[in-house]
Each structure stands twice: as structure tokens, then as C-alpha cells.
Structure 1
Amino acid sequence: MTELEIFEQLKQNVLLKYQEHYPYFQGNWKNFSSQDIQNLIVLVEEKTKQNVSEKWIYTHLKPEINSKLPRKDMLDILSQFSGFSGWDEFQFKNREVVSEEKVLLPKKKNKSLFIVIGILIASIIAIFLIYSNKKPTQKFQLKNEFTQETIQAKDVKAYKIENNEMIQIPIKNAEVEVESRDENTKIVVESPYYKKREIKVNANSDNSEILLKPDDFAMMLKAFMKSDIKDWETRKVQLDKILSEDLEVIVMLKDNLGAEYFDKKDFSQKLIVPTESVKKMQILEIKNDKKGKIEFIRIKQ
């Protein structure tokens, strides 16, 4: 077993450890979202008291195939997160398991042949059962309820709720595709810019759209951050109308450098003058008070 093969096993161990804290995540590294990455960074820091950057995760954990082994100090961190003393122990344990499996392999060729045939038969039966029980999938296009325009994948997240489990599903070309296994399957769509929407997947329904109602104040805030409006006084007056007096803003810094805190006055001052750094900010979460005003914002730089 090569070091790269052992590293692939370590990546799977990290995913399993992550799922212990976030059981609703049932995907793989390919669909590991930016929010999942932020969650993992926090978990690793809590467990090991050491840091893993977002860029490092994109470079070494997200790829399906790794052609180069990462630095040993980073391998030590992930091994410790997985419950081992370090990379050396993780390698030793995995090579030990492989050696034991080789010792247990039958020596007689005819016995091996029967095992292979049995595996093939079991695989054929499993494939047959899967396809015979497979139900047709349904596709739903995500649209703005008022403008009827499709919604960008980066602005929303979609989940399937089935058997009380919440599983994130990918969004491609403003569409979600889901297979309904029972009549209680639901789709939940969340976004900082749109009202949360939950629909029941009905195999007999002709509905092929999920219409999301925009949050007016969140949309206005997005426009302020992305636009080139130079009228400072107008911006100040409009911001005052949509932001709560008790506003709290958390800006998550790049490269896991921590976070910055802003109140209403400081955040409004930052938005009054449109800059490139403000335009590049991505809103991750918005909460409103009882009057509908924005009282909490989480932003990623």
C-alpha cells in the first residue's frame, strides 16, 4: 500500500469524523461545500489546536486524485483529528490491517475461485435490486417568484429530507434533481436572499418549478454591496431603513485568520463608500428581527 493510497484512506477518515458532527452531510469531497469547509476548519482547530487553511483543503482534500503527498506536518494534523497520534501511527495501522488481510487470504485456488464467483453473483443481484426498485427522478428549476428568473446556485442551498435525514443535494443549471422513495420526501431550499421554502415531492405532480420569494431587505443589501452608487447620503438613509439598531456583523477573514465584528454604525460606514473589497464579499447568512429589519449578517471575504 503506497503512501498516496494511505493518504486517500486518511481523507475518508476525515470525512467520517466530520459526519459525526454533521450527520446530515452524506456526500464526498467533490460536493464538500464552502460552508462545510468552514465547519471542518473549526472542528480541526478545536480538536488539534492547530490550523488548516481553506486553500489547503481545496488543494489537497477536494481533488478526487492526488498526485503528490502533502507536507508531513499537515498529515499529522489530519491524523490527530482522525484519532491518531500522527501520520506515522496512521500509516502503521493501515499497513498492519493490509498485512493481516493478506495473511487471511485462502491459499487454495479453487476456494478463491468460489469466493470470486460468489462476489460476482451477489453484485449482479444487488444491481438488479437497485434498478428494479429505482423510482424516476424529478427535476425542479429554482426561480425568483416575482421576476421568474432562474437563481444562481451560489445564492441558494438545497436539501432532501427523507426518513428524518437532511441530505444536501447539488444544484446544476438552477435545477435540483431528487428521487422520491416515499410520499414523505421533501425538498428544503435555503438562502440569505430568499425566504426558506419547503415542498413535498409528489410523483404524481406536474410541478417542475420551485418559486422562491426574495427577502426585500436582503436583496437591497446585496445591491448596496455590488453596485457603484456614489450618492453617499442616499446610501446612508436607505441603509438606516433596512438595518436594525442592534445589528451584528461577523466578517470571516481569508486564510483562517479569524473574524471581524461590526455594529450598525461601523458596517454602514463601510458600505457607504463602494470598494472592490466590499464587492468581493459573500453573504453567508442573514437574520431579521420582528420588524423585518436585518439584525445579523455573516459574511465571507
Structure 2
Amino acid sequence: MTELELFYQLKEQVLRQYKESHPYFMGNWKSFTSQDILNLMDDIQCQTKQTISEKWIYTHLKPEVNVKLPRKDMLAILCSYAQCGSWEEFTFKKLQPQTPILEQVNPISKPPFSYFYLVIGGMLLVGLIGGVWWMVNKSNKDETLQLQNSYTKDTVAKEEVKAYVIEDTMEKPIELSKTKMEFTKPTQVVLKSPFYEPKKMVIQPNEPLSTIELKPNDYALIVKAFMKSDIKNWQTRKQQLQKILADDLEVIVMLPNNLGAEYFNKEEFAQKLIIPSPSLKKMNIVELQQDEQKRIKWIRITQH
């Protein structure tokens, strides 16, 4: 395998790492937009504390065919971003043979009797542990709690949803675990999210829930898309924001490292959404309120 072939594999690893940070991106290097390039530059700087220029990405990552191998220092940055260690470590692992070569045993020399049974016992023990792990892992996978968009059936991230048990009109927060939601007595549960309508349920004993559908909050999802996606038509986006944002909108952005908060009104916040930036994509909506016409009137945002 040549070094250029190894570089192609590294490019795919970098693309997979980018998709982990931007799961809404479903394309490849050919469909990478200018906004995706800015996002990638920002990701690399945050994770590796080093920079890669926009021109370098256009020259080495976007082309389907590479004529020559980039400099080793740039390869090292990509390897660090893609969780591959260094370029030397990456190439060493890729060039290792897939099947280990067994050491030949002299047919004349036979292992001691006790050693033979020790090896057989160890193999049986490893097989038993592997079987138990597979059964437990399969059981947990079958019982994984799934949150779904009621229209698209797409999976809803649990980080975007909070669950509460209602006891005497009080809401007590509970954790959305990986397993099914089960209770020993009839229990009122409500699920809340800034992007989905609240869902109230009464879960009966011995009635485990493995799938819960949530009705999307259309206006909230539009704002989320504006914050996370590339701009298409700023004039259309401006008109849409005028419709879905209330005139008295208040936006509170919580600054990291306990530095306080920033305040934005409708005009200031809309301006941020009309012309997205890498810093905008680091913002996450955690709370949202709407008026009688479903227009968004209050937003709380955190930064990462």
C-alpha cells in the first residue's frame, strides 16, 4: 500500500470524525461546502490547537485524486483530529498484517500435560466470558429506549429531552436511561424539549416503554436548522424569521467559564441567524417559550 493510498484512508477517517460533530452532514468531500470547510477548520483548531487553511483543504482534502502526499506536519494535524495518533502510528497500524503469523512448534517437543490443560481451560473461560458479554449486550440493545420524531420517525437525541415524574403536582427530574422506562405503580411522566411539544404519559406497572414518539415544534426546529446549517438564501431566511420570532423576543446566551450572559433582542438575534458563523454553530438552545400565535418570544442558549 502506497503512502497516497494511506492518505486516502486518512481522508475518510477525517470525514467520519467531522460527521460525528456534524451528524446532519450526509455527504462526502465532493459535496463539502464553504461553510463545511469553515466548520472543519474550527473543529480542528478546537481539538488540536493547530490550524489548517481553507486553501489547504481545497487543495488536499476536497479533490478525489491527489497527485502528491502533503507535508508530514499537516498529516500529523489530521491524524490528531481523527483520533489516529501520529502519521507514523496511523501508517504502522494500516500496514500491519491482518492475520497473525503463528509461531511454528517443533513437532518433537510436546508441551507438558498440565500446560496443555491450562491452555484449554483458559480458552474455555475466554469463550464463556465472551458469550455472557454478548448476551448481556444484546439484551441491553433490545431494551434501549428510543425517542422518535412522530412525523419523520428519526431518532431524537436524549440530550435534547428532559423527563420528569409528576408527584403531587410537583415535577421531579429523572434520567432517561438506556433501558426501557418501567415503574412499579401507575406513574405520570412528562417529557420536555425546546424542539418538541411536551408529552404527558401515565405509565402502568409492567408496561415497559421502549419507543416514545414526540411531536416536533416546527418553529423551534427552524431556528435550530438556521443555527446549525449552511446559509442558502439570506433574504428568504430573513422573511421567515420575521414570521416565527415575536417582536418582543428576548435571547439570553450563557457565556462559558461563568463569565455571565449576553442579551439579544429580535433584530440582533435575527442578524446572527441570517449570516451564520462558526461561533453560532457552538450555541445550543436549552429553553424556549412561545406566545399564543406560537411565535418564539424567549430563548436561553448555552455555548460549548
The normalised TM-score by structure 1 is: 0.50
- Scaled by the length of structure 2, what TM-score is found? 0.49
Larger-gyration structure (1/2): 2
Higher relative contact order (CA 8 A, sep 6+): 1
